[in-house]
Amino acid sequence: MKTHDISISVISLANPWLDFLPSETALQIAQQINNDLNAACESQNAKNDPSQRLYAFASLPLSASPDEIISEARRLKTLPCVKGTILGTSGLGPGLDDPGMYPLWSALEEESTMIFLHPHYGLPDSAFGGPETIARSGHVLPLALGFPLETTIAVTRMYLAGVFDRFPKLKMLLAHSGGTLPFLAGRIQSCVEHERDFTSNGGDKQGPQRDIWEVLETNIWLDAVIYSKAGLKAAIEAAGPNGIDRLCFGTDHPFFPPISQVTSGKWSSVTSNLKVVEELGVKDEDAKKLLGGNAAQGDTVET
Residue at 281 is within a domain:
yes
* The pLDDT of residue 263: 65
DSSP labels for the chain?
A: -TTTT--EEEE-PPTTTTTTS-HHHHHHHHHHHHHHHHHHHHHHHTT--TT-EEEEEEE--TTS-HHHHHHHHHHGGGSTTEEEEEE-SSTTTT-TT-GGGHHHHHHHHHTT-EEEE---S-S-GGGGT-HHHHHHHTTHIIIIIIHHHHHHHHHHHHHHTTHHHHSTT-EEEEGGGGTTHHHHHHHHHHHHHT-TTBGGGT-SB---SS-HHHHHHHTEEEE---SSHHHHHHHHHHT-TTGGGSEE----TTS---GGGSSSS--HHHHHHHHHHHHT---HHHHHIIIIIHHHHTTS---
Residue of 58, 60, 56 lying closest to 41 (CA atoms): 56
Number of domains forming the structure of the chain: 1
Domain presence at residue 188: yes
Counting every residue written for the chain, the total comes to 303
Range of the domain at 193: 8-297
Q: 118 in a domain, yes or no?
A: yes
144 part of a folded domain? yes
Measured CA to CA in angstroms, residue 132 lies from 139, 191, 294 at distances of: 12, 34, 43
Examine residue 214 and state whether it is found in any structural domain, yes or no.
yes
2 in a structural domain: no
- Examine residue 181 and state whether it is found in any structural domain, yes or no: yes
94, 121 Cβ separation under 8 angstroms: no
Q: Which residues are registered as beta bridge partners of 173?
A: 116, 221
Walk along the chain (303 residues) in steps of 10 and give the mean pLDDT of each run.
91 93 97 98 94 95 97 98 97 96 98 97 90 87 94 98 98 97 97 95 94 97 94 95 94 76 76 91 93 79 39
Query: Domain containing 70 — which CATH number?
Result: 3.20.20.140
1 in any annotated domain: no
CA–CA separation, 181 and 235 (whole Å): 8
Q: What Cα–Cα distance (Å) separates residue 102 from each residue in 23, 90, 162, 197?
A: 19, 14, 11, 24
pTM given for the model: 0.94
Q: Tell me what pLDDT residue 299 has.
A: 54
